[in-house]
Amino acid sequence: MSVDVLAFGAHPDDVEIGMGGTLALCARRGLVTAICDLTRAELSSNGTVETRQVEAEEAARVLGVAVRENAGLADRGFRVNEETVATVTAIIRRLKPQVVFAPYEEDRHPDHRLCSQLVQEAVANAALRRYAPPGCPEEPHRVAALYFYLIHGYAKPSFVVDISETQSLKETALLAYRSQFVAAPGRVATPLNQGFLDALRARDRWFGHVAGVTYGEGFVSAVPVVVDVGAWKRSR
């Protein structure tokens, strides 16, 4: 199937952290959305691959995501090379998204940085008519835009999406990952289960504040963002 929005993350929960509210808003507006997790997060300190998969499916349901896939790359083991670029390119050509999202490259987690680089390479290759590695659909596909969402940390956004009406859905989706965000006996203390959701809510509140709304998610664009001047017209 073809989708409108395709968001890549290195691990299940990455996309929900950075743009869960935006995906939920897109679904409410009738857009077809998809998530592709590059790995199964098999090296996570808490939870199992099976648990993470169930949690990911529940989170996608909450956000109204139509398609969720896993590229099957190795957690903390994938690199940007000919094979992985071909894998991600094949996914882009098959789903034919209008817009692609990836993690912002400046992030403390190496997998997030690699995911960003890998998706950028694949977006470029997907548009090349003569790029045809084995197993990759031959028909080229050029996406309309590539944007970057934030996971850890802060960056000055190129634009902000107003997620005031879907912030609660984002938080519900994140809480579906109980193995990651909820501290419990037998679980290892990690940055994710030690106040991370409170900090994330504060960041979304800050992005909303600077944009003049209640909650917002910030995104970075490598190229200038086109503005529709028609949106400037006052209601009469």
Residue numbers of the chain with a pLDDT score lower than 70: none
Q: 214 is in which domain, residue-wise?
A: 5-223
**Domain count within the chain:** 1
Q: Could you tell me if residue 229 is inside a domain?
A: no
pLDDT of residue 16: 98
Q: Could you tell me if residue 230 is inside a domain?
A: no
Q: What's 148's domain CATH number?
A: 3.40.50.10320
pTM of the model: 0.96
Is the separation of the CB atoms in 181 and 192 below 8 Å? Answer: yes
Q: Could you tell me if residue 87 is inside a domain?
A: yes
Length of the chain: 236
SS3 44: coil
Q: Could you tell me if residue 45 is inside a domain?
A: yes
Q: What distance in Å separates the CA atoms of residue 80 and residue 61, rounded to the nearest whole number?
A: 30
H helix or E strand, kind and range, residue 48: none
Q: Could you tell me if residue 16 is inside a domain?
A: yes
pLDDT of residue 234: 82
pLDDT of residue 232: 86
Adjacent-strand bridge partners of 100: 6, 146
Residue carrying structure tokens 């098959």: 94
CA-closest candidate to residue 136, choices 83, 67, 73 = 83
Sign of the dihedral defined by the CA atoms of residues 40, 124, 148, 77, in that order:
positive
Residue carrying structure tokens 């789903």: 95
